[in-house]
Every structure is written in C-alpha cells, then in structure tokens.
Amino acid sequence: MSFKPLHMPLHVVVLAAGEGTRMKSNRPKVLHTLGGRPMLLHLLDTAAALAPAAVHVVVGNGAGQVQAACAGHAVRWVLQAERRGTGHALMQAMPEVPDEAAVLVLLGDHPLAPVALLQDLIAQHDTPLALLTMTLDDPTGYGRVLRDQDDEIAAVIEERDASPEQRAIREVNTGIILADAARLRRWLDDLGCDNAKSEYYLTDIVGLAHAERAAVRGLRARNAGDLQGANDRRQLAALEARYRARRAGELMDAGVQLIDPARVDLRGRIEAGADVCIDIDVVLEGEVRLGEGVTIGPGSILKNCDLAAGTRVLAHCVLEGVSTTGPCDIGPFARLRPGTVLAEGCRIGNFVEAKNARLGPGSKASHLTYLGDADIGSRVNIGAGTITCNYDGANKHRTTIEDEVFVGSNTALVAPLTVHRGATIGAGSTVSKDAPADTLTIGRARQTAVKGWKRPTKKES
C-alpha cells in the first residue's frame, strides 16, 4: 500500500549529520549499532517501507564512513559541511525536493520509529504541517510542545530556551515532522538563530506556521519508547533492550519458545519455524534460518546459519556460516566455521572444529577433532584427536573421505588425500598417501621399549 498524502510524492529526509559527542566515540553517531546493525540502516529500512519518491540523507561528521555503511540503499546524499542546527541541516536537502512534494523528516539516531505510526501520520495529513509528539514522565532533554488556549499546537521550544513553567510540560516533540515542501521551504528561509546555541532550530517552523494561521496537526504516539533516541551509551543500551524485546515478541508470536526473552540477543534477520526452542544467553547474528523443532542450547552463538528442521545445537557452541540439510546433533562446545554443511543424522560432538567441510548422512566426529577443507561421505566415523592437515604453509588442500570409512583416534590426514570407501585407518596414524578401499591402513612408527633407560632427574644445587 502506498501512503502519499494529498496525492503528493513523498520525499523522506533523514538528518544524520550529528557527531554524537556524548557517545565519546570516533564513530559517527548513526553508525552505532542496534541489534548488530547501524542505527541508520534500521531507519532506511523504515523509510523504504513507506514507498517514497526519494530518500535524502544529510550527513556531516564521518560522511564517507556513513555512505560506505549504507552501500546498496537507494539514497541521495546531502552534505552539511557546517553544523548549524537541525533547520540548517534540512535546508541543505531542500534544493532536491520539488515544491509539489510532501516532506517527512526523520532523525538518524531514532531507529525504532514504527512504520505503522509513520503511515498513520502520512495518512492523516490534511494540514500544511504535522508533527509526532509523545508524553514522557521525565521530559528532560526534549523540546516542549506549547499549545494555545484552543489546545492547538502553537510552538515547540527547546529545553535550554524554556522557562521553568514550560519545562514542566510533559508533551514533547519527537523530531519527526511532515510538511508541504513549498511552505516548508518558506518557513526555513524565515528561520532565525537567536537562541542559546545560535543555531537554526527546525522546531521553530511550528511557531512560524502558527503565526500565519496555518493549521498544525499533532499526532501523539501511544508508545513513547519507540520514538526515543540515543545520544549516549546509556540511551543506546536502553534502545537495545527495547529492540530485543520487540524482536523476541515477534519470534514468540511466530511459535518460537524463548526460555527467557530478556536473555536472547537478536542481531540480524531471524526466520524461525514452529516449535523452535531457544535457551538463555543465545546470540543470533546476520541471516539465521531455523527450521521447525530446532533447539538451541544455552550460551550458543549463531551467525549466518541455516539449520534444517530437527537440528539440535547443544550448549556453548559457536556456529558461523553453517548449514544442515537434515536433523543432526551439534555440541556441546563445538565450533563450526563458514562452509560447514552437515547432512541428516550427522553428529558433531564436544570440542570439534570444522571449516569448509561437508559431512554426509550419518557421519560423526564425536570429540576433539579438526576437520578443515574436507569432503566426508556417509556413515563415516572420525575418532577423537583426528585432524585434517589442510595447510602446507602457503596453500590449502582438500581431504576426501569416502563412505563408511572408520578413522581411528589420534590420526593426522595430510592433504591432498583420499581415503577410499570402507577403509579403516589405525589409531595414531599419520596418513600422507591415499588409503585403499576396504583395507586397514596404518601409518605409525613401530613401538619400542628401551631397556635400561632412566628418567632424567633434577640436579642438586
């Protein structure tokens, strides 16, 4: 559905030039992360959902970093070379906005603004100027909304310029406005900077509109928490908690069991089937797909994983770039790295590491093993202490283990190497040549007992 007020094209302007000095960071404020992604990316996703004619992003501090982080988004970049307030920032974007447009202004450090609420603001727009407001128990730091005797919005005054009586007002400005471009351009031209910071405040356009008897609509948000920003680390942490609760609620609504929603971190795009169960202290990052009935044990970290229905990840596993094509068991204490693919019935046990390895149906490595750059067939047993020696100091080489191979414990497989179908490798072997099918291969030194040998002793001082 398209939400274009009064049949006017919608132009979204995101103000993202703030330095974020209270973050005490060298990183631009809008690049601080929420749910594992920069705040600005969350807002750009929201803007795209409104189907605008264009999205303009005003940048200043660290403009190059911000642009690089948003590669792939359809954005018109605007530079605010000199920071002289929010009104001045919007002035920089207006030359690219036609007079017949409606302009929606969003703040780059307010990443949780709900799409539905913005759609309500746009759909109800029947005045030259509309703004979102909210009511706070503690309005400290926000511009106060001033109303006239008819309860119409007359002005917004910043806290630093407000009187004690005005500071007691609990209805505050969120910073999100919607305005007709032609009138907005005129009001911006009339802005002054006679205030405590000698800046051009965007909020002053409210008083200008009221002075010329232009109606100003105020839409009061029911849930103020979604419209609060992040000016420092404490506020960012509060937003993170709110974001986590929102995402956890979405998963539970989809049929996922979260043992404790407050102790699951969701830092990416999560797709989960019915009856998935996620235990405490789990972190999900990037693109994660969990099929029906998947269980994730406590303390596990999954990044960019696609786990088939019925897969069980036991406690304290770290998985990145892992796929399962059928139900299998992983962990506890397993580390599976990018390119690992497990087929139905696989078993990866404790203290097993795999990288760029494919295991066929029913194969298992139960403990204390490294499998790197390996193609492993069906019903293969990998004994404890086995490693694929895949790196010669300059290049990586692959190990191929065919179906129904049994590899004894403490074996080193020196790649490039093929262990053919049905082969058995004796425990403690170092195998550097292909092992024939259906044959026992042993590659170890003959055991010798040295008679008369004595263990060294410490010399007396």
For residue range 340-395, list pLDDT tens digits in order.
999 999 999 999 999 999 999 999 999 999 999 999 999 999 999 999 999 999 99
Q: Tell me the C-alpha distance between 64 and 82, whole Å.
A: 16
Q: Are 177 and 199 in contact (CB under 8 A)?
A: no
Q: Is the pLDDT of residue 461 over 80?
A: no
- Give Dmax over CA atoms of the chain in angstroms: 109
For 424, left (φ over 0), alpha (ψ -120 to 50), or beta?
beta
Residues forming a β-bridge with 76: 56
7 is catalytic: no
Q: What percent of the chain has pLDDT over 70?
A: 98
Predicted local distance difference test score (pLDDT) of residue 195 = 80
Q: Are 213 and 131 in contact (CB under 8 A)?
A: no
Q: Is the pLDDT of residue 2 over 70?
A: no
Q: Tell me the C-alpha distance between 442 and 215, whole Å.
A: 89
Supply the mean pLDDT for the chain. 94
Residue range 254-269: mean pLDDT, rounded? 95
Predicted local distance difference test score (pLDDT) of residue 254 = 93
Which residues lie below 8 Å from residue 164, measured CB to CB, with a gap of 6+? none
Q: Which residue has the tokens 């750059």?
A: 373
Q: Are 419 and 425 in contact (CB under 8 A)?
A: yes
Residue 216 amino acid letter = V
Classified as helix, coil or strand, 234 is helix
pLDDT level of residue 6 (50, 70, 90 thresholds): very low
Q: What is the pLDDT of residues 70-98, one digit of tens each?
A: 998 999 999 999 889 999 999 999 999 99
Its CATH class, for the domain covering 5-227, is: alpha beta
Q: Which of 11, 42, 367, 420 is catalytic?
A: 367
Pairing of β 264-272 and β 301-303 = unpaired
Predicted local distance difference test score (pLDDT) of residue 315 = 98
Domain 243-441 coded CATH 2.160.10.10: yes
Q: What is the pLDDT of residues 292-320, one digit of tens each?
A: 999 999 999 999 999 999 999 999 999 99
| DSSP assignments along 34-100, one per residue | ETTEEHHHHHHHHHHHT--SEEEEEE-TTHHHHHHHTTTS--EEEE-SS---HHHHHHHHGGGS-TT
Q: Are 59 and 80 in contact (CB under 8 A)?
A: yes
pLDDT level of residue 61 (50, 70, 90 thresholds): confident
Q: Is the pLDDT of residue 424 over 80?
A: yes
In angstroms, the Cα distances linking 307 to 264, 283, 303 are 18, 15, 11
Q: What is the pLDDT of residues 194-237, one digit of tens each?
A: 887 888 999 999 999 999 989 898 999 988 888 988 989 999 99
pLDDT level of residue 3 (50, 70, 90 thresholds): very low
| Whole-prediction pTM | 0.85
Q: What is the pLDDT of residues 142-190, one digit of tens each?
A: 999 999 888 889 999 989 889 999 999 999 999 999 999 999 999 999 9
Predicted local distance difference test score (pLDDT) of residue 126 = 78
Q: Determine the distance from the C-alpha atom of residue 202 to the mean position of all C-alpha atoms in its chain, rounded to a whole number.
A: 31
Q: Tell me the C-alpha distance between 93 and 54, whole Å.
A: 11
Give the start-to-end residue ranges of the domains of the chain: 5-227, 243-441
Q: Determine the distance from the C-alpha atom of residue 454 to the mean position of all C-alpha atoms in its chain, rounded to a whole number.
A: 61
Q: Tell me the C-alpha distance between 206 and 218, whole Å.
A: 11
pLDDT level of residue 4 (50, 70, 90 thresholds): very low
In angstroms, the Cα distances linking 37 to 98, 112, 287, 446 are 32, 12, 12, 57
